Structure 1
Amino acid sequence: MSPVLLTSQIPEEQRLTSWHNAVGRGLVPVTVVPHSAGPFTGRLFTDHVGALRVSTVEADAHRIRRTKTHIARSPEPLVAVGAQVTGRTVLVQAGREVTADPGDLFVYDTSRPYFLERPERFRAHVILIPRRALDLSDESLDSAIGTAFGTEQGCAAVLQPVLTTVVSAAHQYSATATGGLVNGLVDLFSTMVTERHEGLIEGDGTTRDHLVRRVREHIDQNLGDPALSPESVARAQGISVRYLHRLFEDEGVTVGRLIQRCRLERCALELAHRSRTVPTVAAIAQRWGFVNPAHFSRVFRGAYGLSPREWRSMGPEGGVTAAAAGRHAGD
């Protein structure tokens, strides 16, 4: 990376103004207030690596404030991931306050106001990730905003050296290698955030029950989508597939089986319904997410003991009711 600003090369009376301008160009517009009335010294290195903005900041003690006015000047939603190298950073955002010590990672959102306090001279790496590049729900990301991560274990322990490499040495690699580093960093960050979100859910039984209800509602509302699957459900809820399956361990049914059971119940009800316009069996199956008619007939018979056409011929009052049949479909 090339230096954007070395204050040692700037007249003392112009340093703070130059620093403001450099930080606004390389990171985002903010207000910087030095702790000392003496000459301000700092070094800022910044560059672009793919879609990421990467920076290394080293400066005297100061405080930073980003307000709604600053945000209006640079409204693109960016998620900042900082790696504290020396000194400390006190981050205040979203009603949270956390201190990042050397070795820690800290996360903040540039589309919301925040406050950073650097109580002594410090050095930190900062990567700005476009929000659109993160395959994370707002709820998952919110759980990480204004927080710090120790890097002794877990995903943070893997992310920290990758982040440092991307910031300090990515320009030395080919475009292909750099792309791999960037994708790896974004994936690791997303996994780290997801793990935190899932850990918070796990520790709160009320939240866990609410999430299970939300998953069931999502399934009910999207039964007609052939792409509905445990993977798509997990993605919509901002959790991993592994954690989704763990949530349903006590529900007596897997998520995949729940989707199939709900689809079969809707098909059974519609097949039994008498109306002036009679859709084909294939049309009903397709309406509720079954793409292959032969597969639909096979799983329907396996659940209800009758083919879809036999079920339809019995009518709404014949044989087993649709409600009772729905219970058999979950067996």
Structure 2
Amino acid sequence: MLTTASVPDPDKVAYWNNAVSRALVPMTVAPRDDGPFNGRIATDRLGYLQVSTMEADAERVSRTPALIARSSEALVAVGVQVSGTATFIQDGRRAEVREGDLVVYDTTRPYFFDYPQRFTAHVFQLPRHMLRVPDSDIRQVTGNAIGTGDGFGAMLLPFLATLASSAEGYPPAVADRLAGNVVDLFATLIAERAHPDGTDTDTTRSHLLMRVRDHINRNLGDPNLSPEGIARTHRISVRYLHRLFQGEATTVGRLIQQRRLEECSRELARRGGTTPTVSAVAQRWGFVNPAHFSRAFRAAYGVSPREWRNLRTAQDDGGRSAAVISAPGTVPRAAADARGADRPVTGLPPSRA
């Protein structure tokens, strides 16, 4: 928390300029009134997401090319106008921001805020590359006020307000997961606003599919990971989620199981001091039923999880350690030799023809 409360009046403006630049990005702040100036800003982090709440008297904020040159990281920010109003300018567009509105802005390009009276705002900042959306889409959204009275904005505003008020209370693992969810939501917001008529469908689908895959990879250890939960997180229907995967040669459920099995196979084959039990590895990657895990693992790799782990010490004819294959459907040579055949395993019963 940085505040001007205990700063002498003659020094408050200079202190506030430094405080805001340290908490957010370098910028110039000029009070609109001649009287004593007061402001405070509180900042927390959720993984790579920074959450700040700023309350201050009427002011003008400028981010100039010279100040941009002092910044080392490209950030995208989403501002939530909690109270008061603002005029926002970026990329040649001017927006009148009212209470409850959102604004998206890019810190690598100049922008300007004018707050005509005392105000409160939440500011969410994250590395631009984490959004995985085209820069052209971001440019189409900046300089606009996004209303939150209905549609996607109406769902997003309460979530952001709750997150800003409780950011400091989350443990690191939960904070990282929340940051990933916020990125998904912001990327969806930008895509929705950049393509309101549904154009560029292939690009939007590709980005959404990428975010879904990333979400699955980050939540493999959650036994409740399911198509229903994934669809709910990304604000899409389960039916549309399945449609996304129609051209992917797999289904959502199969992808989840495949990725879990891959992580289990890697961990079971890892050399090291402490060797976890098979059941501990299975539970860590979201399998709650040991019997189901064992059947699924054998169907994918042709051997049991325990046999797979023992293969890391197996020797091939050349004296080298047998390779451990982490892609389901293929058995290491040592396992195939042990079974009397050197062949890929498909998980299907052999032909009886």
- TM-score normalised by structure 2 residue count: 0.57
* Cα distance in 2 between the residues matched to 1:156 and 1:37: 37
Q: 1:57 aligns with which of 54, 59, 65?
A: 54
Q: 1:179 aligns with which of 176, 180, 189?
A: 176
Alignment partner of 2:69: what SS? helix
Q: 1:38 aligns with which of 35, 42, 57?
A: 35
Aligned to 1:311: none
The structural deviation recorded for 1:189 is 0.9
Verify the 8 A CA contact 1:108 1:147 in the aligned structure 2: no
1:103 has 2:100 as partner: yes
CA displacement, residues 197-231 of structure 1 (integer Å, 9 cap, x when unaligned):
221x55xxxxx5xx58xx7xx9xxxxxxxxxxx74
* Cα distance in 2 between the residues matched to 1:68 and 1:186: 27
Verify the 8 A CA contact 2:29 2:59 in the aligned structure 1: yes
Q: Evaluate the alpha carbon distance shift between residue 232 and residue 102 of structure 1 in structure 2; reply closer, same or farther with a 3 A threshold.
A: closer
Moved over 4 A (4+): 232-235
Aligned to 1:16: 13
Aligned to 2:153: 156
1:124 has 2:121 as partner: yes
Aligned to 1:193: 190
The structural deviation recorded for 1:158 is 2.0
The structural deviation recorded for 1:75 is 3.6
Residues 77-92 of structure 1: pairs in structure 2 closer than 5 A: 77-92=74-89
Q: Evaluate the alpha carbon distance shift between residue 232 and residue 41 of structure 1 in structure 2; reply closer, same or farther with a 3 A threshold.
A: closer
Q: Evaluate the alpha carbon distance shift between residue 106 and residue 38 of structure 1 in structure 2; reply closer, same or farther with a 3 A threshold.
A: same
* Cα distance in 1 between the residues matched to 2:209 and 2:173: 30
The AA in structure 2 aligned to 1:48 is: R
The structural deviation recorded for 1:233 is 11
The AA in structure 1 aligned to 2:163 is: V
Aligned residues with identical type, % of pairs: 43
Alignment partner of 2:159: what SS? helix
Q: Which runs of 5+ in 2 are unaligned?
A: 211-233, 241-245, 248-353
| Between structures 1 and 2, the one with greater helix share | 1
Which structure is higher in RCO with an 8 Å CA cutoff and minimum separation 6? 1
The AA in structure 2 aligned to 1:63 is: R
* Cα distance in 2 between the residues matched to 1:136 and 1:157: 22
The AA in structure 2 aligned to 1:70 is: L
1:141 has 2:138 as partner: yes
Q: Which runs of 5+ in 1 are unaligned?
A: 203-207, 219-229, 247-254, 257-331
Alignment partner of 1:9: what SS? coil
- TM-score normalised by structure 1 residue count: 0.60
The AA in structure 1 aligned to 2:6 is: Q
Q: Evaluate the alpha carbon distance shift between residue 15 and residue 97 of structure 1 in structure 2; reply closer, same or farther with a 3 A threshold.
A: same
